[in-house]
Structure 1
Amino acid sequence: MHEIVYTRADYEPWWMFDDWKEKIVSLQQFSSDEEAQRYLEEQKQAFSLQFANHEKRDLAFDAYWNEEEMEYCEKCEEDLQIFHSLIWLVDGVPKISF
């Protein structure tokens, strides 16, 4: 099973901290690699139009952000950058290669 996950968090997706599943905005499931890749490319195009910055790690992780989108963290007493991320999972594990 292939899943394309959209998260919104104050950290990049490749960290996959314990609470990462709580940051899920949407999740789409696909039965084939081709379907997942097609959907992911569509989402990446849309995110590229919406966000000024982008960083990619492996095949599994794409992080997008606008520098002005910050949220205050009371616990750490500072503003933190917000990242909108796409994660490609295969059977629950990040897809790092073809």
Structure 2
Amino acid sequence: MHEIVYMRADYEPWWMFDGWEEKVVSRRKFESAEKAREYLEQAQADYSLRFAKREKRDFAFSVFWNEEEMEYCEKCEEDLQIFHGLIWLYNGKPKISF
């Protein structure tokens, strides 16, 4: 099963820290890699229009952000950058190649 996950967090999606799934905003499941790739490419194009910055790691991870989108962390006592991440999972694991 292929899955494209959108997460919003104060770290890039490739870190997948403990509890990262709590940051998931949406999930889309696909039976085929082709359908998942089509959806991911469209989402990446849409996010590229909304966010000034972008980075990609491996095949599975894309992240988008605007430098002015920050949130205050009471625990850290500082403002943290907010990242919008897309992750391609295959059977629950990051799909790092195609």
- Give TM-score scaled by structure 1 length: 0.99
Identity across aligned pairs (percent)? 70
Paired with 2:23 and 2:76, the residues of 1 have a C-alpha distance of: 19
Paired with 1:19 and 1:49, the residues of 2 have a C-alpha distance of: 29
Paired with 2:36 and 2:20, the residues of 1 have a C-alpha distance of: 20
Query: What is residue 29 of structure 2 aligned with on the other side?
Result: 29
Query: What is residue 53 of structure 2 aligned with on the other side?
Result: 53
Paired with 1:65 and 1:92, the residues of 2 have a C-alpha distance of: 25
Query: What is residue 9 of structure 1 aligned with on the other side?
Result: 9
Query: What is residue 39 of structure 1 aligned with on the other side?
Result: 39
1:95 to partner: Cα distance? 0.4
- Give TM-score scaled by structure 2 length: 0.99
Structure 1 residue runs of 5 or longer lacking an equivalent are none
Consecutive aligned runs of 4 or more in structure 1 exceeding 4 Å deviation? none
1:37 to partner: Cα distance? 0.1
1:7 to partner: Cα distance? 0.2
RMSD of equivalent CA atoms: 0.4
Query: What is residue 94 of structure 1 aligned with on the other side?
Result: 94
Aligned length: 98
Query: What is residue 79 of structure 1 aligned with on the other side?
Result: 79
